[in-house]
Amino acid sequence: MKEDCIFCRIAGKAADATVVYEDSQTLAFLDIHPLTSKADGISIGQSNGKAASQEVFHMHVHIIPRFNHEMMSGFPNRKQTHRAELDEIGRKIKTAIESQKRD
């Protein structure tokens, strides 16, 4: 674990995050600066290397909320949020994941 790496700190439970899924190979958590709290659909993005604007150098994917009226043009402006808001969104996502496992 690198102390200066936020992903290592989250995975090592040294930093707080809203975790929505975790198993032996995967950790899914909400971005502390989400794009929005609602969406009509999603895009999945993955960047490799500084030239691709990668900021944390661990393999990771972004699940990007999308609306019907917007064009796909990179990351829209991100918003500031509070832990309680993230935790509420995370609770809904975890519930949806758990309901998918049961079906």
Closest distance of CB 41 from Zn ion, Å: 30
**CB nearer to Zn ion: pick between 2 and 92:** 2
Q: Which helix (H) or strand (E) holds 93?
A: helix 83-102
Rounded distance between C-alpha atoms, residue 16 and residue 29, angstroms: 10
Give least dist CB 14 to Zn ion, A: 11
65, containing H or E segment:
strand 62-66
Supply the minimum distance, in Å, between the C-beta of residue 48 and Zn ion.
15
* Angstrom distance (rounded) from CA 69 to CA 9: 37
Question: Where along the sequence are the contacts to Zn ion (CB under 5 A)?
Answer: 2, 5, 7-8
Query: Which CB atom, from 5 or from 63, has the smaller least distance to Zn ion?
Result: 5
Compute how many other C-beta atoms are within 10 angstroms of the C-beta atom of residue 66.
16
Toward Zn ion, which CB reaches closer, 7 or 29? 7
